Structure 1
Amino acid sequence: MKTAWLAACALAWATGALAQTAPAAAEAARYTGVLAAAQRGDLAALDRLAPVDLRVRDGQGRTALHVATFARQHAAIRRLADAGAELGALENDRYDAVTIAAVADDEETLRLLLSLGASARRITSRYDGTALIAAAHLGHAGVVRQLIAAGAPLDHVNNLHWTAAIEAVVLGDGGPRHQDTLAALIAAGANLQLADRQGLTPLALARARGHAAMAAMLERAGAR
């Protein structure tokens, strides 16, 4: 059972990292039309193209909004939103712009997307997860706090049977970033008794992983 659990952890690390792939330089150089304008932040071109080309996608299913999010082109993101871009659109690996910004630890772009009406509640990725789970996995505490404030579901269970609190423990390194992330989840009222498929709660997992500081935090919060 322990071997299978460790294999699942390794798989989540590897495939999660691979899924969040920005357009490569060579790929971006081949962009035309609205995708090229989004990549460059060319507002004049977006004004001309966006109203009719919002559904154009690249080979990975990225829309102009995804491209602008990866490129951190804030003015382009605003212009695309004003033109009616679908803020919750998913690319081929089922990531939306909010999750892309969350994984990149890009608090400024995330703040902009949320202010424009993008949802923190979207179910994303091949794991049927959320931006909050992805950010907790990576220890992006500032992003986690933004998403919580925006109404992200604290106790969503993905198809690995993990919550944000569980991922902060099993996929984290136990260090300050993941401790800060767990603290944010605890303060927001995350359910600390939800268990994984093996029946292990965040506290049991923290102990198993040797994350003493996280285990102590969970104990103080009444976790079992």
Structure 2
Amino acid sequence: MPTDLNQQLIAAAWKNDVAEAGRLITAGADVNAVDDTVQSAFLIAASEGYVELLDLTLQHGADIRSLDSYRGTALIRAAERGHAAVVGRLLQAGVTVDHVNRLGWTALHEAVLLGKGTPQYVDTVRLLIAAGADRNKPAEQDGTMPVQGATKLGQTEVAAVLATKRPDSPVAALLGATNANEAAAALAAGAPLESRDDNRRTALLLASLNDRVEVARLLVGLGADPDAQDDRQDSAWLVTGVTGSVAMLETLLPAKPDLTLRNRYGGVSVIPASERGHVDYVRRVVQTGINVNHVNNLGWTALLEAVILGKGTQPWQDIVTILIAAGADVNLADADGVTPLQHAKSHGYDDIANVLRSAGAH
């Protein structure tokens, strides 16, 4: 029976059927069992870029030291195909960065010499460099160095990653990084991922504040904490509501930020976004399951802030409509018992008042 279950698990892995894989693992299938081509569910997830399946196998005892028929690790398989998200998870899991396969190549060699130089491969190389991959290790067969290979193949951005020098002051360089290459070099030089400045701001928080999406993507890929708060109670996730950056929101979501985390005003990210008129952000963040009826320390919800602190113009009209569609309680009053409709009327925001009335406000 276990053999049959293992075969079924491998078949489910090729189909990326995570639900079926989970059922089979619960029934006793082994995530490390291999078929006659030395493929396991774990190795398949890595090579095919199946992030959710990979997480499932890691949660159920995947052997990160396991090797395929080329004597390569899961990291090498993922790097070859530019699966940056998988590479990040494997690095977090502790897969050896500079393992050499039967071809004489490391993950870095494969990402460059078999890569395409596209953004996914650039991200992959950055992750490997940040994790300490030896950029000066030649390929065993012909002695090609990664940067030589990238240059010869016309991979300009990859070559730039590889050519970025490690800084003398890694922590300062990480916290001050204006691009992902600088951040990767700082991490490679020994800067802790969760380094903080004098205001207890992490590199990820600083990247979020400055909307440096590529830097944030690198840090998230390595497991940076999106919920780490500074001395003002800001976090990388919370400040997206202030900046309104949808790109940063999307970058941070894979890190599973705490949507209930509160800023110094007791609010969640949708509240400042609603106040500031960040329409696209509000439209996206309400899809995450964030509580649109959360009440902050002032006694205000996102809807109340959109009315009270907004300008009543089209952006705030749109936000009110979006919040209502997402389940905002149109009759949830503030701490003084004043409803959103009453606030809209007192401000002379007739269009917003009409939207609220249409939704049953009184």
Higher helix fraction (1 or 2)? 1
Partner of 2:267: 129
CA apart distance, 1:150: 0.8
Between the aligned partners of 1:150 and 1:135, the Cα distance in structure 2 is 14
- From 103, 115, 130, the counterpart of 2:254: 115
1:36 correspondence with 2:176: yes
- From 305, 319, 324, the counterpart of 1:181: 319
User: For residues 15-164 of structure 1, what are the structure 2 equivalents within 5 Å?
Assistant: 32-37=172-177, 39-41=178-180, 42-49=182-189, 53-124=192-263, 126-164=264-302
CA apart distance, 1:47: 3.9
Contact 1:78 1:116 survives alignment (8 Å)? no
Between the aligned partners of 1:108 and 1:141, the Cα distance in structure 2 is 14
**Equivalent pairs, count:** 191
TM-score (norm 2): 0.50
Contact 1:33 1:49 survives alignment (8 Å)? no
The structure-2 alpha-carbon separation of the partners of 1:202 and 1:49, relative to structure 1 and needing over 3 Å to count, comes to: farther
User: For residues 175-214 of structure 1, what are the structure 2 equivalents within 5 Å?
Assistant: 175-214=313-352
CA apart distance, 1:43: 4.2
Larger CA Rg, structure 1 vs 2: 2
Structure 1 counterpart of 2:185, one-letter code:
A
Partner of 1:166: 304
Structure 2 counterpart of 1:203, one-letter code:
L
- From 199, 209, 217, the counterpart of 2:355: 217
Between the aligned partners of 1:49 and 1:145, the Cα distance in structure 2 is 40
Contact 1:133 1:167 survives alignment (8 Å)? yes
Contact 1:121 1:152 survives alignment (8 Å)? yes
Contact 2:173 2:183 survives alignment (8 Å)? no
TM-score (norm 1): 0.79
Structure 2 counterpart of 1:86, one-letter code:
D
Secondary structure at the residue paired with 1:32?
helix
CA apart distance, 1:195: 0.8
CA shift digits 1:79-133 (9 cap, x unpaired): 2122221111112211111222221121111121123322433222x21101000
Between the aligned partners of 1:79 and 1:163, the Cα distance in structure 2 is 33
CA shift digits 1:54-95 (9 cap, x unpaired): 232112221000111223322221221222211111122111
CA apart distance, 1:153: 0.7
Partner of 2:120: none
Partner of 1:22: none
Contact 2:241 2:271 survives alignment (8 Å)? no
Secondary structure at the residue paired with 2:286?
helix
